[in-house]
Amino acid sequence: MARSSGFLDTLLTSPTTERYRVGISLLFLLGVWLTVGAFSQGMPSSMLLMAAAVIGGYMAINIGANDVANNVGPAVGSGALSLGAAVVIAAIFEAGGAIIAGGDVVSTIKGGIIDPSSLEDGRAFVWLMTAALLAGALWLNLATWMGAPVSTTHSIVGGVLGAGIAAGGWGIADWAVMGKIAASWVISPVLGGALAALFLFAIKKTVLYRKEVIPAARTFVPWLVAIMAWAFGTYLMIKGVKKIVKVDFLEATLIGLAAAAVVFFIMRTLVGRMASTMENSSAGVNTLFTWPLIFAAALLSFAHGANDVANAIGPLAAINDALSAGAVVTSASIPLWVMMVGALGLAVGLMLFGPRLIKTVGSEITELDKTRAFCIALSAALTVILASQLGLPVSSTHIAIGGVFGVGFLREYLKSNYATQLHKIMEHHDPAEQERLKPFLDDFRNASVEEMENLLKQAKKKKQVPLSKSERKRLKKIYREEMVKRSHLVRIAAAWIITVPASAIMAAILFFTLRGLLI
């Protein structure tokens, strides 16, 4: 099994298979074109519907390639799942979430950002939605190529906004709604990062920093996993299956509590059994979070498929209904073929192009182990729950990436804090002992946060040599760069900020182009 998984990992990441990925994507889109063409033959504007279906499939591919990485990236980066296994699990649960819980009616205007009643011409509405869909897909394609995980919701919002303004003028947009969306650029990552860092610090204080971690793990880990079970149970009720099971927040919370109670007793038994053979270290504690992370990746993928498939099929369903009715529609039914285009497109995009962003989220921003990845997954579910109750607009992408940066900056703070203690301890020693500095620095540079604490105690006892002021500054800078990659932070933040305006500008240009070609 491990051998086959390793082969799949190599196949997914090999540069030589790039042309095959593109070829398979084109075959999928050709299949969409031919299938829609077969049953729409003789219908008015069948060619436009076929083109819109291909664009919807292209959008779904890009959602799978870019957005799904947030759900499985931490599990892959921590080693809980291999890349191949993560891609297979996510593809199955994304498609399952879209088909099972994607709903049968979708709002055509995401978030009410424009007023479609301002459009008197049904054709203009079709051109608007087509331009928005294509612009969102093109922006996601570019972002994936750059290795920047961005919000697919914001991509389609920008597309609808830009094409809407092109079609109906500036007054068509609801700028209050757009202000809330802009606020989410800050709210989402800050909330996700703060919660992830808070849980990681709590785990370190209650378990990892203890001299005997096994008894601490037996006490606290079942409670931590039970909290995750409550969060995901509630999250799935209010977000994942809201279109097939209608529950209020209290009912969703009670269902989550029931799941948490079951999981608590299961985890208490499992941890008790594993304690006798578990290593008395952070590595031993890490093994306890493997299965919770696998379930988290699957459940996040299911909920994402149920919710974000609408970014691909919403405009497509709107175009389908508008062409049939010849008028503007504010909500559209979702035919099975439209849902299949979205569900299969998500899976195809994830399997062909998802590994690049999975690696970025899982290992290139900061180093993740299973404990850190657990905190990121837990913060993702809790942030969505908290934001939904407070009425705050948040992006699942921004929450997950914020969680990754949150645990990275916490590690950086803890490590630099230990470095500061080291500097204070060494400041008053004799400069003649500087030759003893290098081996100590080598050990310190390669130490984990927990090992650093022990090294500091040894340094205090053995009177190690102090660092010069310039050396201290250089050492702090090295540690900051090791913990969180600043280049990724700048690139991702820039991509988030320009997502809405970039897709809006592209959509406006595409709208005028389509109108000029089809009038």
- The span from the CA of 509 to the CA of 425, in Å, is 63
pLDDT at position 117, please? Answer: 72
Strand runs (DSSP E) across 76-136, as ranges?
105-107
pLDDT at position 473, please? Answer: 58
- The span from the CA of 1 to the CA of 271, in Å, is 26
pLDDT at position 120, please? Answer: 67
Query: Is pLDDT of 468 > 90?
Result: no
CA-nearest of 46, 34, 38 to 324 is 46
Q: Provide the pLDDT confidence category of residue 3 given band limits of 50, 70 and 90.
A: very low
Comparing 36 with 456, the larger pLDDT belongs to: 36
- The span from the CA of 315 to the CA of 286, in Å, is 43
Comparing 396 with 407, the larger pLDDT belongs to: 407
User: Pairing relation of β-strands 331-333 and 105-107?
Assistant: antiparallel
332 beta partners: 106
- The span from the CA of 366 to the CA of 401, in Å, is 11
- The span from the CA of 317 to the CA of 325, in Å, is 12
Tens of pLDDT, residue by residue over 121-159, are 778 888 888 999 999 999 999 998 888 888 888 898 899
Q: How far, in Å, are 91, 194, 281, 410, 459 from residue 374 at the CA level?
A: 21, 14, 17, 15, 33
pLDDT at position 133, please? Answer: 92
Q: Provide the pLDDT confidence category of residue 320 given band limits of 50, 70 and 90.
A: confident
What the block records as the tokens of 370 is 């299973």
Q: Provide the pLDDT confidence category of residue 174 given band limits of 50, 70 and 90.
A: confident
pLDDT at position 479, please? Answer: 56
| Average pLDDT rounded to a whole number, residues 101-129 | 72
Amino acid symbol at 36: V
Q: Provide the pLDDT confidence category of residue 40 given band limits of 50, 70 and 90.
A: confident
Amino acid symbol at 515: R
Task: Give the distance, in angstroms, between the CA of residue 353 and the centroid of all CA atoms in the same chain.
Answer: 15
CB crowding 203-212: b at 16 or more within 10 Å, else e: bbebbbebee
| Average pLDDT rounded to a whole number, residues 373-388 | 88
CA-nearest of 495, 345, 518, 114 to 510 is 518
Considering 196-205, 331-340, 510-519, the range whose residues carry the highest mean pLDDT is 196-205
List of residues 6+ apart from 254 with CB closer than 8 A: none
Task: Give the distance, in angstroms, between the CA of residue 313 and the centroid of all CA atoms in the same chain.
Answer: 20
Comparing 241 with 237, the larger pLDDT belongs to: 237
User: For 16-30, 130-144, 447-461, which range has the lowest pLDDT when averaged over its residues?
Assistant: 447-461
Between helices 290-308 and 396-426, what is the axis angle to 10°?
140
CB–CB of 123/96 below 8 Å? Answer: no
Amino acid symbol at 320: N
Query: Is pLDDT of 198 > 90?
Result: yes
Q: What is the DSSP letter of 43?
A: S
pLDDT at position 187, please? Answer: 86
User: For 46-55, 357-366, 386-395, which range has the lowest pLDDT when averaged over its residues?
Assistant: 386-395
- The span from the CA of 19 to the CA of 129, in Å, is 30
Q: What is the DSSP letter of 428?
A: T
List of residues 6+ apart from 387 with CB closer than 8 A: 187, 188, 191, 393, 394
pLDDT at position 182, please? Answer: 83
| Average pLDDT rounded to a whole number, residues 158-175 | 88
pLDDT at position 421, please? Answer: 57
CB crowding 254-274: b at 16 or more within 10 Å, else e: ebbeebbeebbeebbeebeeb
- The span from the CA of 396 to the CA of 175, in Å, is 22
| Average pLDDT rounded to a whole number, residues 246-252 | 86
Phi-psi region of 114 (alpha: psi -120 to 50; beta: other; left: phi over 0): beta
Percent of the chain with pLDDT over 70: 80
Q: Give the position of tokens 């819109």.
A: 52
